Chains A and B, each alone.
Chain A
Amino acid sequence: MLAIIGTVPDEKFPLTLGRMTLVDETICINAERIPVNRGTPALIGAAIKAGEVLGLDDIHGFLAGDIGLGHGSRKLYHHLTEQLPEMKIKTLVFHYLQPDVDWHNKILFAVEAMGKKPVLIADAGFMYAAKMSGQARCYDMFTPDVGELAFLADEIAPHPFYTRGFILHEDNQVPDLIRRAYDHGNAATYLLVKGCVDYVTNEEHIIASVDKPVAEAMEAMGGTGDTLTGIVSALVASGMNLPEAGETAARTNRLAGVFAHPTPATQVIEIIRQIPRALTEVLKSPHIKD
């Protein structure tokens, strides 16, 4: 089972757990319906679309409504600390959740109590909390963008909002930031870094870098990092190893972007629609570059 934990931008959306499907570009989970837009719904949409190609249909959501006050995130945290130890999950993805170190640590204890530890992937707010807690090494993969990588590289910053200027400085190349993040113990076993060049790396070396194809407008589009995390999560849940999944996801996300012919005004659903075509093409020709 691929389990995705995150929030929906609707304060009234209840704590909802269940298998998810995509019908007419709307996420269906139990009786709830969620439009696919940026954030966790974009991650879910991308994972389901990738799952169509991979034969993966066991995708479950642990969702709650949260508009930034943390109410929904805390409902999820509370539920997960109680229920996770009894659950069987192959791949566990944490996404848009209110960063809270205390709750993060309780979740990690609950994961450690599971019969078999799942592959752990973290992005967005939960990745921030994982880094701040000093427990980043417990995770199998983080999926930061370059700005978030600078935050991981800053051993002091508790949130990207406080990343120090000398680390953000443009002269700091991504490989330097990756090195610094690992040196301070603030990176997961693997990093999938989204940027002008996407990197797949571990502590020892950069395993892959993907710089083609290019759809420059994707930088301005909300949700393109979420789709990358969704694709890599589906690939990992389908059995692909993490570094290969990272590179395949980076190529697929870029190709889906090119297929969508985006402008900076394009919405992420346009890219999600192209994921099956892009992933099929990448899997046929893993080293496609253009």
Chain B
Amino acid sequence: MSGAKKHLRIGFIPLVDAAALIVAADGRFAADEGLDIELVREVSWSNIRDKLAIGLFDAAHMLAPMAIGSSLGLGQVKAPLVAPVNLAMNGNAITLSRALYEELFKEKGDPADPASSARALAAAIRAREAEGREPLTFAMTFPFSTHNYQLRYWMAAGGIDPDRDLRLVTLPPPFMVESMAQGQVDGFCVGAPWSSVAVDAGVGRILHFGCEIFARAPEKVLAMRRRDAEAAPDVAHALARAIAKAASHIETTKDQDEIAAMLARPDRVGVDAGIIRRTLVGKLKIDADGTMRENANYLVIGKAGALRPEAAQAVWLYAQMLRWAQADFSTVGVEEATRVFDADLFDAALGAPAAKASSDRDPGGAFDGARPVDDLRAYLAGFAIGCKT
């Protein structure tokens, strides 16, 4: 592209999974595509959604389920969005207060196995009920989020009904650690780096990485208004390319410190570069005593086809919404949801993948076995807890 660069205002929440967007904007990748990106740091997902919907942002770093919720008008006014590129898979972690962790695993139970830990949590909840104690409180960052679905899926696998057996509340990520320290929250599921902050502060212990619950949960997308993407597909293409190139740079560079330093800036993620580096490479301290856990898929930004939005991912997210009564089933709903994850837009910008991913039928990859989503009724019927269609 020649001439003046196209100026785009893009909102983001200070999280490591905005890395591809931040590196695209602050590095050379956006300029190479003829774009001049102005990043605007936001304090709430509601702000991100509203400012995108009314045109104060041209695009936004957004929770993948939120993009679907907005397009379907679930719990908000309908504003059709489209995601030309995914920003990240996974990246969350479930963290327990030290007290609850000790209560769960003092006698038996395997804290590394989600099936076992969910049963241990169920036992603790029953014991509390029997003793007439207050129910436990768990926090997540937004109802339309993978954090919410990860917590609920894991709990339900242990026989817990998350709407009845405990309190599930929404908290802004920076408030999680403080709320846990004050004993108002017993556990939470949040994106990086906030679990690491809780561990470093000695108030919590990381129990599971998000990828131990779902192997490949679509976490964040770059969202645009659908009518803008249709009116100016070249801008959507350029943005998808800039982000894809930034993402592959993040995955392949030898200089992870440079990336961490870029993200650590106070007007970007604004936390210590050392913590950011640990989350980028998937090597996290899970306990203040120094115990480490490593998983290369803790946060997936640009590898293994993660960038390509696919219809199956949208159906899988829609299935989570159905299960937890955020949506009522309709074939129109399925169609609308799949239109958000626009593989065509991505392919037009970056070329179609040579081979189709083999994991399509089970995009989530839950810990308790393969669950294809091509038959939503069968998918939902396979769970003891949650809504059926």
Do the two shown chains form a genuine complex with each other?
Answer: no
